Amino acid sequence: MATNPEQEQCQVHTRRITLQLSAHSSSDYRHKYRDFRMGDKYPYITKEDLVDKGEFHRKHRDLSIKYVQDTHPEVVSHQYMAYQPPEMDRFRSTEPLRFDFRKPLFRWSGVVPGSVDTQQVLPKVNIVEALVIRRQFYRNISSDALIKLLRESFLSLETFRDERWLGSNYFNKILCSPENVIDALPPKLQRLHIYQDADSDFSLPRVHSIAGAQSMRKFATLSELKELSIAPDTDGWGFLLDFLPIVRRPLDTLPVFKLRRLALDCATLREPEVSFERLVLVRTLRAAAAAASRMPRLETMELWRATPSSATLFRYSTKNLESKITWRINWKHARGDQLWQGKLRKD
């Protein structure tokens, strides 16, 4: 059967792929630290996975306590987590992956190690349409390596999902900060999802920052971004900062976004204990409404906040020219899980 060479060539060039990256040691998962989030099937989990998670967590905690009591009897109980068994410390504190052009790719290549060639440019890989870094494993990939990939190889990227773990020490946290990657994202990017998971056995305490959200808002105004989801260490309040009523900026002077879906974790969406916190909560929701008015293509906006004891969800959605607001909480003084939904009037 005869084929058209031009048509065949066009079909080859239109094929695109999703590239998933992970860095891990399978032996660690089997012998050192069992966690359903490290399985190949994640993020698809079962109830049995959650039960196993609790059992393995207790086992790891007991091993750590025994190690500390045997080797550091002077340590008081609240300092136990600073003294992990050596194999666990290696597991959680391994240096993230970075490029090192001094080392030969193969042992027999005969390349003599020298100084790092910072000018060496990676080849363009236009076939990669989406880059996904799942959270299966604790071994991280440095932001510097990702920046180099984004600026030199993945220039045609349309989707980027970054689920790297929160650093287990300050060195790792600096090297793997998602905020460092924002300026390197290609202008063609349409979907950006960032989520930093954390584990009480491995990660540093969370510190919510609004700087990253402000950088992402700036990127959203200059790009083709249609979907944006950031959580939980990047406080979405920074995205809404210019829309707060207290700033008093006329809406027509604020940027217009092409976003269709937006999800932000906001630290201000928590159960208010004093009147000032209630005022901040109300102003956050008003800022979200103002931001939505500058997103003519918006289909869904979600602001949420979750802690071990409570959860808050505010959702604005529109379908078939009808807009709806959903407000869901399970605050301590709300007498259980509460759900409120209502349609918006045109006025």
- Condensed to tens digits (0 to 9), the pLDDT of residues 32-88 reads 666 666 666 666 667 777 666 677 777 777 777 787 788 877 776 655 555 666 666
What pLDDT is stored for residue 88 in this prediction? Answer: 66
Q: Phi first, then psi: what are they for 186, rounded to 5°?
A: -70, 145
What's the sign of the alpha-carbon dihedral 234, 237, 243, 248?
negative
In which band, very low, low, confident or very high, does the pLDDT at 168 lie, cut at 50, 70 and 90? Answer: confident
Q: Which of 27-36, 214-223, 289-298, 317-326 has the highest mean pLDDT?
A: 289-298
pLDDT average, residue stretch 132-147:
84
Helices (H), 177-298: 211-222, 275-292
pLDDT at 263: 94
Q: Give the 3-state secondary structure of residue 299.
A: coil
pLDDT of residue 157: 94
Question: What pLDDT, on a 0 to 100 scale, did the predictor assign at position 109?
Answer: 44
- Count of helices and strands (H, E) across the chain: 8, 10
Q: Read off the pLDDT of each residue in 283-310 and give the average, rounded to a whole number.
A: 90
> End-to-end CA distance of the chain, in Å?
63
Structure confidence at residue 211 (pLDDT): 77
Listed in sequence order, the residues at least 6 apart from 257 whose beta carbon sits closer than 8 Å to its beta carbon are 220, 221, 225, 291, 294, 295, 298
Q: What is the rounded CA–CA span in Å between residue 247 and residue 43?
A: 40
Q: Is the model's pLDDT at 338 over the cut of 80?
A: no
pLDDT at 10 over 60: no
- What value does the mean pLDDT of the chain take? 78
What is the average per-residue pLDDT within 128-135? 90
Q: Are strands 17-21 and 128-133 parallel, antiparallel or unpaired?
A: parallel
Percent of the chain surpassing pLDDT 90:
22
What is the value of pTM for the model shown?
0.78
- Bridge-based pairing state of the strands 300-306 and 311-319: antiparallel
Predicted confidence (pLDDT) at residue 4 exceeds the cutoff of 50: no
The pLDDT of 141-167, averaged and rounded, is 91
Which pLDDT tens digit goes with each residue over 180-228? 898 899 989 999 999 887 776 666 777 777 878 888 888 898 889 999 9
Confidence (pLDDT) at 50? 67
pLDDT of residue 304 exceeding 60, the answer is yes
